[in-house]
Amino acid sequence: MTTLKAGDKAPNFSGTDQDGKTHKLADYAGKKLVVFFYPKASTPGCTAEACDLRDNFHRFQANNYGLLGVSADSAKAQIKFKDKYELPFPLIADEDKSVINAFGVWGPKKFMGREYDGIHRTTFVINEKGIIEEVIEKVKTKEHASQILK
């Protein structure tokens, strides 16, 4: 699981969003970047998290932050999620899990006594120079923005 920690250089990722646009770490140079990984679009926890970030989006913009959501959902699922909840930030459709694996958030999970592999809800706050400032593993879905913008 997540081996990246504060002080590490962020992975030089490249992922495609819901509209087919490519996003790379280099695109956000000179800006802070929040990369939040979520298990599945349109599920209750993921919706609460994305909507909290949406509702505080102006605060992120005011503080020079870019936001990127990432899950292994298809572009079609990401479009539905983004449109339904009017999310103002791109959602990476990481079906091949290249970004997910680069950040080390894929691994064993437990749900209702069953073990399986999946995405661990984790957020990375990356500074203007591409260095990870913070890794949030205990995400509070309904108040995630305040965890990031302390």
Whole-angstrom distance, CA of residue 109 vs CA of residue 117 = 6
- Annotation marks residue 51 as catalytic: no
For 126, left (φ over 0), alpha (ψ -120 to 50), or beta?
A: beta
Distance, in Å, from the CA atom of 136 to the CA atom of 99, rounded to the nearest integer, reads 17
- Are 35 and 123 in contact by the 8 Å Cβ rule? The answer is yes
Q: CA 49 → CA 44, 53, 117, 131, 146, distances in Å?
A: 9, 6, 21, 24, 11
Point out the catalytic residue in the list 46, 70, 91, 125: 46
- In 3D space, the residue among 80, 76, 86 whose CA is nearest the CA of residue 50 turns out to be 86
| Identity of residue 53 | L
Query: Catalytic positions, please?
Result: 46
